[in-house]
Every structure is written in structure tokens, then in C-alpha cells.
Structure 1
Amino acid sequence: MEPIKERKKRDRNGIKRGVLIGFLGVFLLNALTGFTQDTTRRTSEPCYRCRLRGLLIGETVVYSTTIYGLSKAWYNNPLTNFHFFNDNHEWLQIDKVGHMLTAYQIARISAQAYRWTGLSDKKAALYAGLTGLIFQTPIEILDGFSPEYGFSVGDMAANIAGPALYTSQYLAWGELRIQPKFSFHNTPLYKVRKELLGSTWHDRWLKDYNGQTYWLSVNPSAFGSRDSKFPRWLNVAAGYGIQDMVAAETPKSIERGYRPYRQYYLSLDIDFTRIKTRHKALKTVFFLLNTLKIPAPTLEYNGRNGFRFHALYF
């Protein structure tokens, strides 16, 4: 991929995640007390049908406006015939994990909103799964008509996997037992290509894949017996990261003197939503914190250095 095209696509991926998660995060905070209430215990019966109608209309209007504005900003050249672009070899596939996490978080946040409208957990999970998919799909389709990009089957598969992971758990278990999470730390690699990896901290946590780690945080107590002494809030997390990628493609990173490699992690984590509290604001804080993997002692394995232990890794 040419450097300019590489940079533009990288910028779009970062902006896409930031805009979509940011929009839904603000939407959640605006309904702070409503979305986090226990929907199984209601002392009054508001008009839940009205809430659902208003929520769907609001989502449609805001999202349509957002997509229209972003399409004007992103797609500067006239659209062409629909075509595909295979980017599955780029960034050691960590960008696909990022797509999955984004779509999952959209579904997770949306589900809270749907519960606020009176839907059951399973119905909310189904609606949220569709929302997570719908929020991403139009952008991928527009990419297919853009001469600068192209429809990525890998991106689309990841966009489906995220909401599917959320919805399937509620259909199977009635709760979340496996949760994708995110962590980030600064790396010096951004100095090599600031235009690609970001010049400021805000840019780097979106653009520098070398500092990003994606996790699957599993709650062991949910798979055990109710009499288990294992803390219900304690999780075990498996992570994936990359290093020394200063270009989208591995050979181009090697040309610049770097040897890209994959990193695998095993660590402890906290499921904040399993910490019991009656405080609605604290429930919201816990809900938002569950997007992030907490800093914790971590065992790393990579093909270059073998096993490494981090006393505290984020």
C-alpha cells in the first residue's frame, strides 16, 4: 500500500473507533441514572414503548447525520464501482481485533440503552447485536465504492464477530462471561513515523498499534459452581499485541530496519460489573471501566525474546 493511502486508511480506522465509541459513550452518560438501574425491580411503570421509540428515532437521526458528515470528510474523490480490497496481511491482523472490540463495545453500550426502554436482557442483547453491526456496515460499504479504499472482508468479519460475541453469551448463559477489553502504553516507535503512528498521546492511543493490547477477559467463577470460593469479580485475561510495526505491511517495516513480532499475554483482571453496589453513578463508572483491562502482573510470550514477566503491565 502506498504511504499516503496507508496513512489515510490508518487515520480513518482510528477516527472510526473514536467517533463511534465516543458517540455511544456520551449517549450513555446522558442517561446516567436510567441505563444503570435494575430493570428487574421497578416501583413504577413509565412508558417503555415511548422510550424505545424515542431511542430508535434518536439513534437513527444522530447516526445518519454522523455518517453523512463523515462521508463528506473521508470520501473526497467521486465514488467508483463497488470493489474489494484485501488488507488481511496488514498490521499482523491486530487492526481486525480492534474492529471486533469496537463493534462489541457498541453492542454492549447499546444493550444498556435498550434495557432502559424495558426490554428483557435477551431482547436487549438481540437489538444491541444488530445495532453493533448496523453502526459499522455502512462505512464498510462506502469503502467498497471509494477509489482510495475498497470493501474489506476481514474488517466486515471482525465487525460481525464483535456483536455476535456479545449477543451469543446472553442467549447461551444470560450474562457476560467473556469480555473483550483494551489497554494502551506509550512506545518510542511513534517518533519514527509520527504522521502514521501519531504525534500526540491522544493520536497514539488510537493509531499506534505497537502500544495497544487487546484482551479476552474471562470470569472463571461464572463457569464454576455457586459454592466456589473464587472471587466473582476476579477475571483471567489473555492478550494480544504487536511490536516493531512502523508500516502496515511487515516487509516495509523490515525495510526500515525493524523486525515485527507478535506478543501474547496472560494476566489477571477485574470484572467491575460483578462488584455489588446500589449507587447508580458508581454502577455507571464500573460499566465504563469494564472497557479497559486493569494494570496487573502479566506474563508475556513472544517469538523473539520468549517468556517475560511484567510486574505491572497495561
Structure 2
Amino acid sequence: LPDSALVSTNSTADSTPSFNKHKRLAWVTAANVAFYGGSLVALNAAWYKDYPRSSFHTFDDSREWLQVDKVGHAWTAYTTGKYLSAMWEWAGLSRKKAVWAGGLSGAAYLTVIEFLDAYSAEWGFSWSDMGANVFGSALFMGQEILWNEQRIQFKFSFHHTSYKDPGLEQRAGSLFGKPWYERMLKDYNAQTYWFSANLKSFFKNSRIPAWLNISAGYGADGMFGGFKNTWKDKNGAIIERYDIQRKRQFYLAPDIDFTKIKTKSKLLRTTFSLLNAFKCPAPALMIDSKGKLKGYALYF
């Protein structure tokens, strides 16, 4: 993907002499179709093929994982919409049309996945997932419509978690996987999601650095099952770990809006745009649902 496709621009793409609207539009359309089709085929092969099909049915998973998975759905919809919008604008659509195309196509893609769940006996169509998807897309589109910019970025961070208890480490390995990239996707104990507000965007006449953000985060800990900490070991014995508290965690930390760092390099602007999906490691304060307050010199 060319660098400029992920760089938000305030000027129209037609200002570039070499711009060819029809070719770019065809390229982006084809790329979207290929991505959607290919990823759904891969997802079906990796996720659904080993489970029996069923008729359309719903499943209430709104209480699973202390809703961290739902926040993840919203982040995915927001982030997908943001980057697809940038691609459509690069292809020649007006900013307004690009926002609608990107935001709605991101939500549509996740809706297709919900329908795959709906016809799998192992899962089901989740209204809470759908609500989270719509919220994520609406957060992106709403800010563009209201402010013509993303004053509040939706970000993600991850810290690898290991457990001294051999039983818990074994459970985590079987549930979340062992490689770091599997843990990053599946371990809800290790994920934190952030609303990162750019201060300068709200106080235009202040001397606050343009790149400085303040962020509020949400995560959870102590989860070794979707609803409760019970499972069966490899011998079929039921393991109950009610001694482990399942806790919500709320964070406050400074952050950086990389897109506010001025540079003439298209490569750096693209890199900064991609980095903005992730929370910058920084000092943080955390309070959990049990009332415990903790400070971090550097929180990932």
C-alpha cells in the first residue's frame, strides 16, 4: 500500500499531478474485495471448519471476560474504519464520503463474522458483539462529522503475562496459546484499551504541546474462563479456582498522538499513523474493582 494511503490529508487527492482517480479507486476497491474475501476464507478454515454447522441462533456472551472482548470488538471496528477511510480518501473520494465508506465497511466486515458465528454450533450471533461493533464505527464517524478530526483516539496495548502457578500457566497456554502473538489476540488478562484525548484539540489557544494526550484505559485480570474460573484438565477432572479474583482495572496515563508530530517524510507520516492505533508505554495509575490502587513507572 502506498505511503500516502494511510496519511490523513486535508487537501484533495486531485492536487497531486500524477493522481489518477479511476485507477486508484479501482485499486482500493479490488484490495478491499480481496482482503474481505481472503480473510473470511482463512477465518473459516482456521476457526469454523472443525465445528459442526447449525441453523441461525443467538448466544448471550455479554457477561464473558468482564466485557474486555467487547471493548476489543469496538476497537477493531474503530481502527478498521479509520484506516479504510484513509484509503478511500486517497482513492479520490471526498473526505465525507470516505468517512462513510470506511466506517460502514469496517462494521459490515465484523457483521459478516457475526453471521458466521450464528451458523456455527459452537458459537452464535451475539447482539452485544454487534453493539460493540456499531459503537466503534460510530466513535470514528461521529468525530469526523462533528470535528473533522479524531480528537479522542481509541488505542490498544498489550503486556505478556506469565504465572508462577504451574496449573495456571498450563491453563493459560491451552486457553490463550503460548506464542506472544497468540497471547496478544486471545489473552484478555493482558490487553488494555484506551480512550486517548488530544488536549490541544480541545484547547486550541493553549500552549499545550500538540502531540500530548491524556488517556483513560480499561482492562481486567484473573480470568481463566469466559464466565468463571472453572475448567476441565486433560484427564477430565474439574478444576475450580474461585480463590482467584476476577477484577476490572481502570487506568490513567499520558500518551502521544504521533500524527501531531510534524514531518515532511511520507514514510514517517505513515508509520506515525499506524503507531497511533497503539498506546505509547508510559507511567500510569491503576485502580481495580476491589479498590486497590497501584502505580506503574512504565505500563505497556
- Larger CA deviation: 249-258 vs 102-111: 249-258
For 1:215, the equivalent position in structure 2 comes to 194
| In structure 1, distance between residues paired with 2:43 and 2:174 | 21
Give the secondary structure class of the aligned counterpart of 2:226.
Answer: coil
| In structure 1, distance between residues paired with 2:193 and 2:127 | 21
**Is 1:170 the counterpart of 2:144 in the alignment?**
yes
Give the secondary structure class of the aligned counterpart of 1:246.
Answer: coil
Residue 241 of structure 1 aligns to which amino acid in structure 2?
Answer: G
For 2:259, the equivalent position in structure 1 comes to 273
- TM-score w.r.t. the length of structure 1 is 0.85
Give the secondary structure class of the aligned counterpart of 1:210.
Answer: coil
Decide whether aligned partners of structure 1 residues 54 and 36 sit closer, same or farther in structure 2, where only a CA change above 3 A counts. Answer: same
Deviation at 1:206, TM superposition (A): 1.3
Q: Does the CA contact (< 8 Å) of 2:223 and 2:229 recur in 1? A: no
Q: Does the CA contact (< 8 Å) of 2:85 and 2:101 recur in 1? A: yes
Give the secondary structure class of the aligned counterpart of 2:105.
Answer: helix
Deviations 1:171-217 (A, max 9, x none): 00000001111111121246141110221222211111111111010
Counterpart of 1:297 (choices 277, 280, 283) is 283
Deviation at 1:265, TM superposition (A): 0.3
| In structure 1, distance between residues paired with 2:76 and 2:127 | 16
Deviation at 1:165, TM superposition (A): 0.7
| Count of residues in correspondence between the two structures | 284
**Is 1:235 the counterpart of 2:235 in the alignment?**
no
Unaligned runs of 5+ in 1: 1-29
| In structure 2, distance between residues paired with 1:216 and 1:252 | 32
**Is 1:31 the counterpart of 2:17 in the alignment?**
no
| In structure 2, distance between residues paired with 1:68 and 1:141 | 14
- Larger CA deviation: 47-56 vs 37-46: 37-46
For 1:180, the equivalent position in structure 2 comes to 154
Deviation at 1:33, TM superposition (A): 4.0
Deviations 1:280-306 (A, max 9, x none): 000011011101111111111113352
Q: Does the CA contact (< 8 Å) of 1:111 and 1:127 recur in 2? A: yes
Structural mapping, 1:26-175, within 5 Å: 30-36=1-7, 38=9, 40=11, 42-44=15-17, 46-76=19-49, 77-175=51-149
Deviation at 1:37, TM superposition (A): 7.4
| In structure 2, distance between residues paired with 1:295 and 1:35 | 23
Give the secondary structure class of the aligned counterpart of 1:300.
Answer: strand
| In structure 1, distance between residues paired with 2:63 and 2:8 | 44
Q: Does the CA contact (< 8 Å) of 1:263 and 1:302 recur in 2? A: yes
| In structure 2, distance between residues paired with 1:214 and 1:264 | 10
| In structure 1, distance between residues paired with 2:10 and 2:100 | 17
Q: Does the CA contact (< 8 Å) of 1:122 and 1:174 recur in 2? A: no
The alignment's C-alpha RMSD in Å is 1.9
Unaligned runs of 5+ in 2: 232-238
Residue 127 of structure 2 aligns to which amino acid in structure 1?
Answer: V
| In structure 2, distance between residues paired with 1:95 and 1:222 | 30
Counterpart of 1:195 (choices 145, 158, 174) is 174
| In structure 2, distance between residues paired with 1:200 and 1:43 | 44
Give the secondary structure class of the aligned counterpart of 2:230.
Answer: helix
In terms of fraction of residues, the more helix-rich structure is 1
Q: Does the CA contact (< 8 Å) of 1:35 and 1:115 recur in 2? A: no
| In structure 2, distance between residues paired with 1:168 and 1:137 | 19
For 1:25, the equivalent position in structure 2 comes to none
- TM-score w.r.t. the length of structure 2 is 0.88
Q: How high is the sequence identity, in percent, across the aligned residues?
A: 43
| In structure 1, distance between residues paired with 2:67 and 2:252 | 19
Residue 3 of structure 2 aligns to which amino acid in structure 1?
Answer: L
Residue 270 of structure 1 aligns to which amino acid in structure 2?
Answer: I
For 1:12, the equivalent position in structure 2 comes to none
Decide whether aligned partners of structure 1 residues 34 and 94 sit closer, same or farther in structure 2, where only a CA change above 3 A counts. Answer: closer
For 2:234, the equivalent position in structure 1 comes to none
Decide whether aligned partners of structure 1 residues 297 and 118 sit closer, same or farther in structure 2, where only a CA change above 3 A counts. Answer: same
Deviation at 1:36, TM superposition (A): 2.8
For 1:249, the equivalent position in structure 2 comes to 227
Decide whether aligned partners of structure 1 residues 120 and 301 sit closer, same or farther in structure 2, where only a CA change above 3 A counts. Answer: same
| In structure 1, distance between residues paired with 2:73 and 2:119 | 20
